[in-house]
Amino acid sequence: MNVLFLLHGVGRHATGWASDPVATLQKAMQLYPTCFAANKTLADYVKPIEIKYDDIFDTVLDRWVQLANALPTAGGGFAWTSKVAELLQKAGDDRNTFARFGGDVLLYAGFALVARAARLRVNALIASTIYEENKAAIDAGRSPPKFGLVAHSLGTTIAQDALHQLATGRWVAEQESLAAEVTQAATAAGLSQQQKKDLAGSLASSRPAGTLAVNLHGLFLISDTSPVLKQSGYYSEMQTAGVYDCHAVWSVNHEFDPISHVGGAFTGSWRPDRRDVRVRHFHDRNIHAFAHYLSHPAVHCEVFRLLVPQFSGACYKTAQTLAAQPLWNGFGGELAGWVEQQKNQLKQKLRDAARLDRAPPKLREAIEAYFRSIGLL
């Protein structure tokens, strides 16, 4: 069975957080009664794997609170330490607000140790799943599964960074000395300079020693923030000898989502086969929500098409037809009854929240402005 990794964005996420996007995809399955049997769940077609990393941010905040609590009030030249302690206590005590205000963004983009821990958490789970699922398939004589990753908001940055590290890191260290050994062997074998040069060229076009390709079949970047926040590199653009490690990439953004705008999702030049999916539906005030994106046929059809063999070409075409309907290009769902004035007000607030420079602190401000604009703060 193919595997769908789900990676969350800013905010606090309890274990089991992925039940929300999974439920959205299951609800979306009902739009295609000829493609999915009525009594089946998403897990009957694809294996969802939830990835959670925000508890690492909690750990950092906890440690800061501990430090602050252990410090007595200082006077004189050390008075500043009390101010700092006060700030840290506040961040720890109000961590829900801190996270929702985009504090996670600052922790990830500002502290390399925190970013590394988050990336490693993500990669450990991905590498472990890839190994175990592939082994199970090979042992059973089945086709190896396909692996897709859907990342949302801050998760898009962490996905790009983490997968870049996974693909370029020397995780298979036994091969590190391979190049040196080959050179020695070439000399010992008495190869000519031209032969050595050819061999060196051949080695140069192969993967760096000690690395192993990820070969992710699909990367879905939903409300992409990686252009502004990335710390390592773009996995989606990574090539070895002209071959992209990531087989296919989708950048999915809402035209009014300020986080996509300030995160730089609509900028940059990318690999030619990257798919840009732009949605403009308003079925919930929180248009940035992971579930709101996944509910759109133009979005979930790409995930289904890649990972669910039963989702045939006909099903895909149905989704494309649905995506073009007015329902999926305007107000609907919970906001179906809104009058024109309400609609325009929301759009204006979202536009205002998007008028910020593209930089990590500005993205945090955009997140705050966004949640204020939709009345969730």
Q: Shortest gap between Cβ of 89 and other proteins (angstroms)?
A: 13
Q: Which of 39, 143, 192, 269 binds other proteins (CB under 8 A)?
A: 143
For position 321 contacting other proteins by CB under 8 A, the verdict is yes
The half-sphere exposure of 198 on its side-chain side, counting CA atoms within 13 A, is 5
Q: Shortest gap between Cβ of 56 and other proteins (angstroms)?
A: 7
Applying the rule CB under 8 A, the residues between 263 and 282 that interact with other proteins are 273
Nearest to 332 by CA among 155, 351, 323: 323
Give the helix/strand (H/E) hosting 117. Answer: helix 112-139
Q: Hey, what amino acid is at 78?
A: F
Residue placing its CB nearer to other proteins in the complex, 65 or 279: 65
Q: Which of 37, 173, 189, 204 binds other proteins (CB under 8 A)?
A: 173
Query: What number of other Cβ atoms are within 10 A of residue 365's Cβ?
Result: 19
Residue placing its CB nearer to other proteins in the complex, 336 or 376: 336
For position 178 contacting other proteins by CB under 8 A, the verdict is no
For position 105 contacting other proteins by CB under 8 A, the verdict is no
Applying the rule CB under 8 A, the residues between 329 and 358 that interact with other proteins are none
Applying the rule CB under 8 A, the residues between 9 and 48 that interact with other proteins are 30-35
Q: Which of 90, 217, 343, 358 binds other proteins (CB under 8 A)?
A: 217
Is the distance from CB of 232 to CB of 116 less than 8 angstroms? no
Residue placing its CB nearer to other proteins in the complex, 148 or 258: 148
Q: Which of 119, 254, 261, 364 binds other proteins (CB under 8 A)?
A: 119
Residues whose CB is less than 8 angstroms from the CB of residue 287 and which lie 6 or more positions away in sequence, other chains included: 254, 256, 257, 281, 350, 374
Nearest to 122 by CA among 165, 171, 162, 67: 162
Q: Which of 146, 254, 285, 300 binds other proteins (CB under 8 A)?
A: 146
Residue placing its CB nearer to other proteins in the complex, 39 or 143: 143
Residues whose CB is less than 8 angstroms from the CB of residue 19 and which lie 6 or more positions away in sequence, other chains included: none
> Which residue is associated with the tokens 């990820």?
214
Residue placing its CB nearer to other proteins in the complex, 170 or 372: 170
Residue placing its CB nearer to other proteins in the complex, 184 or 206: 206
Binding segment toward other proteins, per CB under 8 A, in 149-157, 207-215, 252-260, 365-373: 207-215
Query: What DSSP assignment string belongs to 61-83?
Result: HHHHHHHHHHSPP--GGGHHHHH
Whole-angstrom Cα distance, residue 320 to residue 304?
12
Q: Which of 3, 246, 303, 346 binds other proteins (CB under 8 A)?
A: 246
Interface size with other proteins, residues (CB under 8 A): 97
Whole-angstrom Cα distance, residue 22 to residue 17?
9
Q: Quick one: how far is CA 297 from the chain centroid?
A: 20
Applying the rule CB under 8 A, the residues between 61 and 80 that interact with other proteins are 63-64, 66-67, 70-72, 74, 76-78
Q: Which of 306, 346, 366, 369 binds other proteins (CB under 8 A)?
A: 306
Q: Is the dihedral of CA 312, 5, 237, 174 positive or negative?
A: negative
Give a three-class secondary structure readout of 205-235. Answer: HCCCCCCCCCCCCEEEEECCCHHHHCCCCCH
Q: Shortest gap between Cβ of 359 and other proteins (angstroms)?
A: 17
Q: Shortest gap between Cβ of 215 and other proteins (angstroms)?
A: 5
Q: Taking each helix axis from N to C terminus, what angle separates 297-307 and 19-29, rounded to the nearest 10 degrees?
A: 90
Q: Which of 111, 266, 270, 338 binds other proteins (CB under 8 A)?
A: 111
Q: Shortest gap between Cβ of 259 and other proteins (angstroms)?
A: 25
Residue placing its CB nearer to other proteins in the complex, 186 or 374: 186
Beta bridge partners of 331: 282
Q: Which of 121, 343, 358, 362 binds other proteins (CB under 8 A)?
A: 121
